[in-house]
Structure 1
């Protein structure tokens, strides 16, 4: 049997599909690092902007002679908003973990379903091929 006789449509597509998937998988660590680095820079830029504002506005606000009780209450309000924001960040992180697990579980279930369907398809093809005369 020559090499061309052993080729099938499925083998041709499977080989190239596997090459593409392997290349995509190889890129995953790089892509995560790229997005992680960009996100860190974004967060640091925001932090630095507020730091710059504090330095620029410090003298201006000191001259306004703002009531210390107002500043104390503003600090409490800011702490409340910060803790709320941190809780939301943590909740979103937990949601992403849960969502990822659900999606992975769904893909595994789908893969099992496809394997079951392919087994049935293979049996059907086998039954038909028994009836084909060469």
Structure 2
């Protein structure tokens, strides 16, 4: 699931007419829940935050602001994306935790990555699926 080839840049994805990209405008960093570790940051990204990119060659890129600390979120999020888009798991590459490439989703906190950040990814994949069906 983690491919070694170079992935297209954010700008290439956003400007390629043959790539379907689901993104959102930048939002402030989520505040940690009471009792949870995290940062009290006022950082606000200036670029659109990518969630899903469907490339012309059939590959699918998923973007998540958390990192895999051994909990298997790369696999779990990739499975969610593949299932929602009805593609095979091996076509999905998850990009995790890279500050310039992924949504601003706050700190990685164990299982919260699935409980919190899987939902926006699933919704973005569902939006991409609907758009692909409209185009078909």
Normalised to the residue count of structure 2, the TM-score between the two structures is: 0.21
Q: Relative to total residues, which structure has the larger helix share, 1 or 2?
A: 1
Q: Relative to total residues, which structure has the larger strand share, 1 or 2?
A: 2
Task: Tell me which structure has the larger Cα radius of gyration.
Answer: 1
Higher relative contact order structure (alpha carbons within 8 Å, sequence separation ≥ 6): 2
Normalised to the residue count of structure 1, the TM-score between the two structures is: 0.21
